[in-house]
Structure 1
Amino acid sequence: MNRDLPAEAAVRAALGTVIDPELRRPLDELGMLDAVTIDGGTVRVKVLLTIAGCPLRDSITADTEAALSRVDGVERVEVELGVMDQAQRDALKAQLKGAGGRRGIPFNEPSSLTRVYAVASGKGGVGKSSVTVNLAAAMAAQGLRVGIVDADVYGFSVPALMGITQQPTRVDELILPPVAHGVKVISIGMFVEGNQPISWRGPMLHRALEQFLTDVYFGDLDVLFLDLPPGTGDIAISVAQLLPSSELLVVTTPQSAAADVAERAGAMAAQTGQRVAGVIENMSWLELPDGGKLELFGAGGGSTVAARLSATLDAAIPLLGSIPLDVSLREGGDAGTPLVLGRGDSRARDELLGIAAALARRPRGLEGLKLPVSIR
C-alpha cells in the first residue's frame, strides 16, 4: 500500500524538536541544519557539527533519525554530518554569548535570575559531593535547568558520581559542558589524564574557577551548584569574590567535632557578605532491620550548626533536612546514577527529594532588577 509523501512542513516541524545535547537548544535555532531534501519517502538532512570530533555526533544522528521517522510518509532517513566553518562558529558564539563574545560572569549580570548555591563543609568526608549531585539531579528531574561547577579542584569527584566520562566540547574559546541526568557539569577532572593529582596554589585555583564561570556556556540556568572543597581556603574566598550573590549550603554530620568545623564554614558568610540558605545533616543515622535507628555519629549536629549560625549571622538559618546512612546512596554514586533518580523505598532518597523540593520552591529573586515596563 502506497503511503502519502511526507509534507515539508511536517519534516521541518519534526526537525525543530531535535535538541543539541550540549547546548540544549534546537538544531535549527543554532544554525546546525545545513540542508533538508525530500525525495519520495526519503528525507536527507545535513547537520553541521560545531567541531569535527564532536563526542555526541552519534546521539545527534540518532535523535534526528528518530524525530523524522515519526513523520507520516517518511520511509527512510539519511543524515549527513558536516562541520561548521569559522564564520558559522563565530555566528553561533555571537548568538550564545552576544556580539563580541562578552567574557563576564553571566550569573552576576543584573538580568540573571539564576540562584547559585555553594555547597560547603568544614571538613572532608561528610558526603558534600553526594549531596550536591543528588540535589542537582532531583531539581533537573523536576524540569529545572541545573548546572554544577565542581570547584573541589584537589578532590574532584562529581564526574564519577554523575557517570560522566566524556570531555567538554571546545568551540574555539567557548567550552560546552557535558550533560548527565539533565544537569550540565564542568570539572577540572575532565581535563586531566587518568587519576593525576592537581598541585596548584591559590592564584591558579582562582583562575581555573574564573575560567569555568566565564568560558563555560551553561545557558540560562534556574540553579547553579558549586561543590566547594572542605574548609575556608582559597576556593571559598574566590567563590565569594566571583559570585557575591551566591548562597551557602552547609553540610555536616551529627558528630559534634564535624558540627564545630561546619559552623566555621558557614560563619565565613559574615565576612564575605554571602547568605546561608540552610544546613543539611548527612549520615544522621542507620536504620536497623527492626526499624530502629543507630546513631553512629551521635545526634543533633545539624540543628546545633543551624542554631549557632542563626545567632552568629542574626538570621534564621533552617535545618533543611537530615539524611540517613543508606547503602544505595553509595551504590548510586559508584554507578554514576544519583539515588534520587532510582525507585523503591529509601529514607535517604525521600529526604534528598524533600530538600531539593524546598530549595526549588524558593523563587528566583526579582529584587533590584530593572523590569522593561513603561508607564504611558
Structure 2
Amino acid sequence: MTPEAIKEQLKQVKYPGFSRDIVSFGIVRSAAFVDGTVKVALSLTTNDPKTPLQLKRDVEACLQALPEVKDTIIDVAVSAPKAAPPRQGGNLAGNATNTAHSKIKHAVAIASGKGGVGKSTFAVNLACSLAKSLADAGRPGRVGLMDCDIYGPSVPLMIGLSGRPQIDGDMLIPMEANGVKVMSMGFLIDDNTPVVWRGPMIMKTIQQFVQNVKWGELDILLIDLPPGTGDAQLSLVQTIPLDGAVLVTTPQPAATNIARKGGLMFQKVNVPLLGVAENMSYFVDPAGLKHKLFGEGGGQQTADALGTSLLGQVPLIPAIREGGDTGKPVVLAEPDGPAAAAFDVIGHALQEGLRRAAATPSE
C-alpha cells in the first residue's frame, strides 16, 4: 500500500466540527505501510485536548477498515495556536509596522449555515443602516462591507455599484455607495465569467481582500461570507482577528439546524457569537394581519442553543427584494418602513454587543 493510497483513504476523516478532511487541511504529515502496519504522522494546532484524541480514534477506525491493515501506529504532534498579534490602534491583523494596512475598530462576519436565507441582502442593509447611524453621529464613511462570496458575489448589484476599483500602488481602493466602502469579487470579474477555483485560490483572494485593500479608518467592517464551513470561513478566521460573528437564519428548522452548525464552527475557532438575526420572520398582508410563512421561533431557539442573543427579526416584504434588485437598499429607499426599523434595532444591538465585548477584560 502506497502513502498516496493511505492518504486517499484518510480523506474520509473530517476534522472535528468541519466539513473538510484532514488531508486537505494538511494535517497528515507522513504515511507508510510496513508488514501490515500503517504508520501515520499527524500534526495539528489546537488548544482543545479532546481534538487530538478524537482524530487518533477516527484515523485508526478509518485505516482498520482496510482488509490488508493488521495494525496502526498513529503519531499525533500537537502545538498550541500562536497568540494573535495585538492590534495597534485597531490596525487590521495587528501589523502596526505596515502602514498599508487599514485601521479597523471592529471586524464582524455575517454568516449562515445554508444558502437562501437572504444573508447578502441582510448584510447590505445592515451596512447601510450602520453607515446612516454613524453619519448621524458625526462619523460618516466609517463602515466597510467585504463580499467574500467568491462564487456568487451579489453585493455590487444590491448596493448599486458597478465598474472596477481604482489601484493605488499595489493596493485596491474600495468602491463606495451610501456611505459604505465595498470590496467584492464582483468588481474584478465579468458578469458572464464563472469562478471555477479550488480552495487555495479562494484563500489567497480573501487574504488579498484583507491585506491589499485600502479600507481607511473604519468603525466596523462587515464581512459577508458564503454559506457553509469551508475554505472561505477558515481563511477568514486565520487572516483577520474577528471581533465576532452574526448568524443569519430563517425561522424554519431546515435553516436553523444548519445555522447552529455554523455557530459551532465559530465557537471552535474562538470567534465570539454576537447574536442571531432572524430573516423573513413574518409577512404582513394589506389588512395588517401577520403571517408566519416559515414558522416561528427558530431564530430564538438557535440563539438559545448557542448561548447568544436574538438581535432582531426582519419581516418578509417585497420592498426588501426590490431594493436588492435595483441597487437601492430598503433601509434607505423606505427609511420609515418596517424593514428599516428592524435593521436599526439589529444595528443598535450589534454595536452594543461590540461595546460590551470591548469593555470586558479578556481572560
Range of TM-score over shorter length: 0.5 to 0.7
* TM-aligned CA deviation for residue 334 of structure 1: 1.0
* TM-aligned CA deviation for residue 108 of structure 1: 2.2
Q: Is 1:333 the equivalent of 2:324?
A: yes
Report what 2:60 is aligned to.
none
Aligned residue identity for 1:117: V
1:1-376 equivalences in 2 (<5 Å): 106-109=91-94, 114-142=105-133, 143=135, 144=139, 145-310=142-307, 317-343=308-334, 345-361=336-352, 362-363=354-355, 365=358
RMSD of aligned C-alpha atoms? 2.0
- TM-score by length of structure 2 reads 0.68
**Cα distance between partner residues in 2 of 1:304 and 1:230:** 20
Report what 2:37 is aligned to.
none
**Cα distance between partner residues in 2 of 1:253 and 1:245:** 24
* TM-aligned CA deviation for residue 220 of structure 1: 1.0
**Cα distance between partner residues in 2 of 1:260 and 1:366:** 32
**Cα distance between partner residues in 2 of 1:352 and 1:366:** 24
Report what 2:24 is aligned to.
none
Structure 2 regions of 5+ residues with no counterpart? 1-89, 97-102
**Cα distance between partner residues in 2 of 1:136 and 1:295:** 26
* TM-aligned CA deviation for residue 273 of structure 1: 0.7
User: Contact 2:144–2:221 (CA<8 Å) still a contact in 1?
Assistant: yes
In the TM superposition, what whole-angstrom CA distance separates every residue of 1:150-198 from its partner, at most 9, and x where no partner exists?
Answer: 0010111001101001210012211111111111100111011123111
* TM-aligned CA deviation for residue 342 of structure 1: 2.3
* SS at structure 1 position matched to 2:315: strand
In the TM superposition, what whole-angstrom CA distance separates every residue of 1:321-348 from its partner, at most 9, and x where no partner exists?
Answer: 0111011111111111111112365222
Aligned residue identity for 1:165: S
Distance 1:207 1:344, change over 3 A: closer
Distance 1:246 1:205, change over 3 A: farther
User: Contact 1:285–1:324 (CA<8 Å) still a contact in 2?
Assistant: yes
**Cα distance between partner residues in 1 of 2:290 and 2:242:** 39
**Cα distance between partner residues in 1 of 2:104 and 2:160:** 28
* TM-aligned CA deviation for residue 291 of structure 1: 1.4
* TM-aligned CA deviation for residue 290 of structure 1: 1.9
In the TM superposition, what whole-angstrom CA distance separates every residue of 1:228-248 from its partner, at most 9, and x where no partner exists?
Answer: 000111111111111133311
- TM-score by length of structure 1 reads 0.66
Report what 1:23 is aligned to.
none
User: Contact 1:244–1:273 (CA<8 Å) still a contact in 2?
Assistant: no
User: Contact 1:123–1:230 (CA<8 Å) still a contact in 2?
Assistant: yes
Aligned residue identity for 2:105: T
> Equivalent pairs: percent with the same residue?
41
* TM-aligned CA deviation for residue 366 of structure 1: 6.7
Report what 2:79 is aligned to.
none
Distance 1:299 1:368, change over 3 A: closer
Aligned residue identity for 2:320: L
**Cα distance between partner residues in 2 of 1:179 and 1:168:** 10
Distance 1:344 1:359, change over 3 A: closer
Compare CA radii of gyration and give the structure with the larger one.
Answer: 1
* TM-aligned CA deviation for residue 110 of structure 1: 7.5
User: Contact 2:104–2:221 (CA<8 Å) still a contact in 1?
Assistant: no
**Cα distance between partner residues in 1 of 2:178 and 2:107:** 19
User: Contact 2:109–2:246 (CA<8 Å) still a contact in 1?
Assistant: yes
Aligned residue identity for 1:217: K
* SS at structure 2 position matched to 1:264: helix
Q: How many residues align?
A: 259
Aligned residue identity for 1:349: A
Aligned residue identity for 1:270: Q
